[in-house]
């Protein structure tokens, strides 16, 4: 170790040695989102430890992946001959005239952030991230930015999604791409000037207004996803020391959690499931078995689309659910990625077995005989032309009309989703008295507590049963005395 004091100004180092990434525990104080009380929590920190010209440095990260990215940037900066900044503890790209540099705008950072994260994101994350960052780019503008009409906002949003926030970039740019790129470069708000007030206003705008300015009431779960995506971009900026503080620390979060439970108004009883299935059959005879499989056996819509002939065991009346089919547009897939996905939160070979009720077994027997190819891996549900069933087309051509045929205009079930068929099935199992661990195995939830927390509001009869058993215990005790 050199005897001189550590330098404070950037210099051109000769040697870099990275010890590695070390995990350690750190005690911290956090505020409970329910009670508001502060409590202690132990969290893991991943330190990147390295030596530059004999001086030791350490940089801590909340996730190992961030630390690995930082180590790669150290090797890259040293290989390129960049100077090392001891205050930033990293290599910095030399600037010819840093005094005249324009401040980094949110638009420019969003473009670079998407390019960095695209290879590590799943296709659904790419689509959602592109959508939410595009909306943020349209809102986080300078106060002097000109107001855009509804048509111009749609045009700008299309440019952001198709070109600016897309990897890879389109081979043939549209005629107005250069104009919109120059517009955002001029009017996008500098990243360092975005505070908690601008971000709070952004969330309120997303909640209350659609892209074209029409009013709406966005679901809290959708707003949380938007918040997480945009906050991720700011977290990346902090890790790269593009900004010195986190403006999201002053933004109010949604503390209400009731929406995470299943909405009782959107849970159908078995009679309603059968009525809806028959209404779907009037539009397409294949649709009845597709709806009943979800409403009685509980697969997710994507899992139902992925079912094959080999997954139906009519002898033992068992349905094997192996995974799900992604319907994300092809432009969000990179080379080597497929639309087949394992079950949620499970490995590639995981599967679960769900019993097939007798009525559904007879319907599936007819369906297999007349509408499914003979190969064992043939899709169980297809279109009339034999193509894989597309959920968006099914909603447009069958599901939407069937809801209108079965449920009156005043009923909340007019808005029932295909995924609510799964909720209806699991609710029926619980209310029928199926043991909780069995329900967990059939539904594919990781833990029984998740099942309870999610379906607590739709379980029926437990209170009356509990009171009756308690009264019976008291009566037995009285008789024994």
pLDDT under 50: residue ranges of the chain: 1-3, 33-34, 98-100, 256-259
Measured N-to-C along each axis, helices 123-139 and 196-208 cross at an angle, to the nearest 10 degrees, of: 110
Give the model's pLDDT for residue 256.
Answer: 47
Q: What DSSP line would sit under 214-233, residue for residue?
A: -B----HHHHHHHHHHHHHH
Where does residue 345 fall: left (phi above 0), alpha (psi -120 to 50 degrees), or beta otherwise? left
Give the model's pLDDT for residue 1.
Answer: 43
Q: Is 167 helix (H, G, I), strand (E, B) or coil?
A: coil
Is the pTM higher than 0.85?
no
CA–CA distance, 11 with 22 (Å, rounded to integer): 27
- Under 8 Å between Cβ of 157 and 134: yes
Q: How many residues does the chain have?
A: 481
Give the model's pLDDT for residue 28.
Answer: 67
Give the model's pLDDT for residue 175.
Answer: 86
Q: Scanning the structure block, which residue is given the tokens 């470069």?
A: 185
Q: Is 374 exposed, middle or buried (0-12, 13-18, 19+ CB in 10 A)?
A: exposed
Own/partner pairs for 73-79, CB < 8 Å, 24+ apart?
74/16, 74/18, 74/48, 74/50, 75/16, 75/18, 78/13, 78/16
**Stretch(es) of the chain classified as CATH 1.10.443.10:** 264-462
Give the model's pLDDT for residue 99.
Answer: 44
Report the CATH fold assignment for 264-462.
hpI Integrase; Chain A (1.10.443)
Give the model's pLDDT for residue 38.
Answer: 63
- Under 8 Å between Cβ of 110 and 137: yes
Integer CA distances (angstroms), 267 to 62, 237, 433, 437, in order: 40, 43, 17, 21
Give the model's pLDDT for residue 458.
Answer: 80
Give the model's pLDDT for residue 265.
Answer: 87
Q: Is 426 helix (H, G, I), strand (E, B) or coil?
A: helix
CA–CA distance, 326 with 350 (Å, rounded to integer): 17
The tokens for 271 are 């009679």
Measured N-to-C along each axis, helices 123-139 and 220-239 cross at an angle, to the nearest 10 degrees, of: 80
% helix, strand, coil for the chain, step of 5? 50, 15, 35
């Amino acid at each position: 170790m050199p005897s001189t004091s550590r330098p404070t100004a950037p210099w051109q180092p000769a040697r870099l040695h990275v010890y590695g990434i070390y995990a350690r525990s750190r005690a911290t104080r956090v505020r409970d989102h329910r009670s508001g009380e502060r409590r202690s929590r132990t969290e893991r920190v991943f330190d990147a430890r390295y030596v530059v010209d004999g001086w030791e440095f350490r940089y801590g990260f909340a996730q190992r992946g961030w630390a690995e990215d930082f180590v790669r940037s150290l090797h890259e900066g040293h290989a390129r001959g960049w100077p090392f900044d001891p205050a930033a503890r990293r290599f910095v790209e030399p600037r010819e005239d840093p005094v005249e540099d324009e401040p980094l705008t949110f638009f420019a950072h969003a473009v670079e952030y998407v390019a960095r994260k695209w290879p590590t994101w799943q296709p659904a994350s790419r689509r959602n991230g592109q959508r939410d960052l595009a909306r943020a780019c349209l809102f986080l503008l300078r106060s002097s930015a000109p107001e855009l009409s509804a048509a111009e906002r749609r045009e700008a949003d299309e440019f952001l999604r198709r070109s600016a926030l897309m990897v890879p970039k389109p081979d043939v740019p549209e005629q107005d791409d250069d104009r919109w790129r120059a517009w955002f470069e001029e009017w996008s708000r500098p990243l360092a000037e975005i505070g908690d007030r601008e971000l709070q206003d952004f969330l309120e705008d997303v909640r209350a207004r659609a892209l074209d300015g029409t009013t709406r009431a966005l679901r809290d779960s959708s707003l949380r996803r938007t918040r997480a995506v945009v906050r991720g971009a700011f977290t990346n900026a902090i890790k790269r020391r593009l900004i010195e503080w986190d403006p999201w620390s002053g933004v109010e979060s949604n503390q209400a959690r009731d929406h995470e439970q299943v909405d009782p108004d959107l849970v159908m009883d078995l009679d309603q499931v059968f009525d809806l299935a028959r209404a779907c059959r009037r539009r397409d005879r294949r649709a009845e078995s597709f709806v009943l499989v979800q409403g009685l056996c509980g697969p997710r819509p994507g899992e139902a689309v992925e079912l094959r002939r080999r997954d139906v065991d009519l002898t033992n009346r068992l349905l094997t659910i192996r995974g799900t089919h992604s319907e994300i547009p092809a432009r969000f897939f990179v080379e080597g990625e497929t639309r087949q996905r394992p079950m949620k939160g499970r490995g590639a070979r995981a599967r679960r077995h769900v019993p097939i009720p007798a009525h559904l077994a007879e319907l599936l027997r007819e369906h297999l005989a007349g509408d499914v190819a003979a190969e064992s891996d043939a899709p169980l549900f297809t279109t009339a032309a034999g193509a894989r069933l597309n959920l968006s087309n099914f909603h447009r051509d069958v599901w939407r009309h069937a809801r209108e045929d079965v449920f009156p205009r005043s009923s909340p079930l007019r808005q029932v989703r295909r995924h609510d068929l799964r909720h209806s099935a699991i609710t029926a199992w619980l209310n029928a008295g199926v043991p909780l661990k069995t329900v967990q195995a059939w539904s594919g939830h990781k833990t029984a507590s998740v099942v309870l927390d999610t379906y607590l509001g739709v379980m029926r009869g437990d209170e009356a049963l509990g009171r009756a058993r308690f009264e019976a215990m008291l009566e037995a005790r009285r008789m024994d005395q």
